[in-house]
C-alpha cells in the first residue's frame, strides 16, 4: 500500500509558529544555508522550494515552477523563514535589493 501523502499546507502548519508581535508565520523546519526555510513539494515534482515561495503559490496565486516571478518579503518583515502572505509581495530583484538597503528592514514597523 502506498504511503498517505500529507497536503503541503498541512505540512507547513505542522512546523509553523506564529509570532504574536510581528504576525510572522515562522516555519521551523529545514533552513537553507542562506537562512531561508525550505520544504519538499509533493510528488510528482518532489522539488525543494523556499517556504515563502510556497506560501505565495498558495495564497498569492502564481504557478509552481514559474521562475519569472520573484517573491519578496516586505521591508517590515526581515524573517527569511516567514511565509505569511501579508508579509510577501510579487516583485523584482531590483525591488528586493532596494528593500534590503532600507533601514526599516532590520526591524518590524507594523505591517
pLDDT in tens, 8-35: 999 999 999 999 999 999 999 999 888 8
pLDDT value at residue 95: 80
| 14, containing H or E segment | helix 8-14
User: What's residue 104's pLDDT?
Assistant: 56
78 touches 19 (CB < 8 A): no
Compute the C-alpha angle 64/70/76, nearest 5°: 120
Using 50, 70 and 90 to split pLDDT, how confident is the model at 4? Answer: low
Look up the pTM and report it. 0.79
Rounded-to-integer distance, Cα 50 and Cα 83, Å? 9
pLDDT tens by residue, 61-108: 877 777 778 898 988 888 999 999 999 998 888 887 777 766 554 444
Amino acid at each position: 500500500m502506498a504511503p498517505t501523502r500529507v497536503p503541503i499546507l498541512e505540512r507547513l502548519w505542522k512546523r509553523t509558529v506564529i509570532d504574536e508581535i510581528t504576525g510572522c508565520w515562522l516555519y521551523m523546519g529545514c533552513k537553507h544555508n542562506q537562512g531561508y526555510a525550505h520544504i519538499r513539494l509533493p510528488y510528482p515534482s518532489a522539488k525543494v522550494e523556499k517556504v515563502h515561495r510556497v506560501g505565495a503559490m498558495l495564497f498569492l496565486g502564481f504557478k509552481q515552477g514559474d521562475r519569472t516571478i520573484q517573491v519578496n518579503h516586505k521591508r517590515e518583515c526581515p524573517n527569511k523563514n516567514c511565509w505569511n502572505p501579508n508579509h510577501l509581495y510579487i516583485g523584482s530583484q531590483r525591488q528586493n535589493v532596494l528593500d534590503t538597503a532600507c533601514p526599516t528592514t532590520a526591524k518590524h514597523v507594523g505591517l
